[in-house]
Amino acid sequence: MDTQGVTADPQLQQFIEVESQKQRFQQLVHQMTDVCWEKCMDKPGPKLDSRTETCFVNCVERFIDTSQFILNRLEQTQRGRGSLSETMSD
């Protein structure tokens, strides 16, 4: 039971987690679109020139690399804190 005395439905919890992940992904895509659009799009036209297309590809790849690096770093930090708190409680 949780703190309110109601047992949480595992399917509902999973649904909420999946929807939260979808929302975070959509926010990330929106942020990436904003950043790369501002960086790469000089003047909108009927089609992308090769320089603009290359800029978008590189921008998206760097954005993904940076996001992954940050996530990995946060995981390492959390694991380090967990190990530290376990060590301190022993």
| 88: pLDDT strictly greater than 60 | no
- CA–chain centroid gap for 7, Å, is 30
- Residue 31 sits at the vertex; the CA angle it makes with 60 and 15, to the nearest 5 degrees, is 105
Q: What is the pLDDT of residue 80?
A: 81
| 6: pLDDT strictly greater than 60 | no
What residues contact residue 60 under an 8 Å CB cut-off, 6+ apart? Answer: 32, 36
DSSP H or E segment with residue 42: none
53-59's contacts with Cβ under 8 Å and 24+ in sequence apart are 59/32, 59/35
Task: Write down the pTM of the prediction.
Answer: 0.60
How confident is residue 4, by pLDDT bands cut at 50, 70 and 90?
Answer: low
Residue-wise pLDDT for 28-79, tens only, equals 889 989 999 999 998 888 888 999 999 999 999 998 898 889 888 888 888 8
